[in-house]
Amino acid sequence: MKTITTDKKIRLYLCLSVALLLPIDYTKFSHSTQKHQAACVTCHKIPTKDWTKTSSFPDITDYPSHDACVSCHRPQFFRSARPPICSVCHSKTSPRDDVRYAFRNPASKLQFAIEFPHDKHQDAIAMLRFAHPPQGYNNCTICHGPRTATFKAAPTDHGSCFNCHWKSQEPVAANCNGCHKLATTPYVLAEPARKSAKFVHDGGGEKKQHVAECTTCHINITKSASLRGLKPDVPITACTECHNKDGLRQDLSKELIAIDKNRGFTCVYCHAANVGNLDPPASHYLIAERPPLKRRDIK
Partner 1 sequence: MRLAKFAILLMVTVVMGQQPPGQPTGVLRLRVRVKADDTAPLRGLARKRFFLIPGTLEQNRALITAIEQQPLTTRDCYYKQHHASAQLIAWLQEGDCESVYCRSIENEFVNGPKAVPEFANAFAANHSQFGNDLIALQWLTNYLSPDLRDGFYKDRQRTLETLLKQGQLGMIQSVMTDRNGTAYFTDLGPGTYVLSNVIPTELQQTLVTWNCEVQVKPGDLATEKPYLVSNRKDRLVKCVGVEKPKPVCAAD
Contact 60, 40 (CB under 8 A): no
**E strands present in 139-290:** 180-187, 244-245, 249-250
Q: Select the span of 14-22, 24-32, 202-210, 230-238 touching partner 1 (CB under 8 A).
A: 230-238
User: Which residues 241-270 are close enough to bind partner 1 by CB under 8 A?
Assistant: none
CB of 286 to partner 1, least distance (A): 6
Least Cα distance to 122 among 34, 221, 188, 210 occurs for 221
> Toward partner 1, which CB reaches closer, 17 or 163?
163
Q: Which is nearer to partner 1, 75 or 229 (CB)?
A: 229
Q: Which of residues 49-88 bind partner 1 (CB under 8 A)?
A: 56-58
**Contacts by residues 207-214 (CB-CB < 8 Å, ≥ 24 positions apart):** 209/242, 213/137, 213/138, 214/138, 214/139, 214/140, 214/141, 214/144
Regarding beta strands 244-245 and 180-187, do their DSSP bridges make them parallel or antiparallel, or are they unpaired? unpaired
CB of 175 to partner 1, least distance (A): 13
Nearer to partner 1, 62 or 86 (CB): 62
Helix (H, G, I), strand (E, B) or coil at 268: coil
How far does the chain reach from its first CA to its final CA, in angstroms? Answer: 68
Rounded to a whole number of angstroms, the minimum distance from the CB of residue 189 to partner 1 is: 21
- For partner 1, the closer of residues 16 and 282 by Cβ is 282
**Smallest distance, partner 1 to C-beta of residue 191, A:** 17
Binders in 118-137 for partner 1, by CB under 8 A: 119, 122-132, 137
Give yes or no for a contact between 161 and 261, defined as CB atoms under 8 angstroms apart: no
168/190 Cα distance (integer angstroms)? 33
The neighbour count for residue 46, using CB atoms within 10 Å, is 19
65 or 163: CB nearest partner 1: 163
Using CB under 8 A, pick the residue from 141, 215, 250, 266 that binds partner 1. Answer: 215
| Distance (Å, whole) CA 6 – CA 290 | 70
**Nearer residue to partner 1 within complex by CB, 202 or 213:** 213
| Using rule CB under 8 A, residue 190 touches partner 1 | no
The alpha helices in 126-194, defined as continuous H runs, are 159-165
Helix, strand or coil for residue 153?
coil
Q: How far is the CB of 16 from partner 1 (least distance, A)?
A: 32
By CB under 8 A, tell whether 162 contacts partner 1: yes
The yes or no reply on residue 282 touching partner 1 (CB under 8 A) is yes
Question: Is 98 near partner 1 (CB under 8 A)?
Answer: no
Region of 62-70, 79-87, 101-109, 157-165 interacting with partner 1 (CB under 8 A): 157-165
> Which residue, 205, 171, 177, 137, is CA-closest to 41?
177
Footprint of partner 1 on this chain (CB under 8 A)?
56-58, 119, 122-132, 137, 162-169, 213, 215-216, 219-220, 222-223, 233, 235, 237, 278-279, 281-283, 286
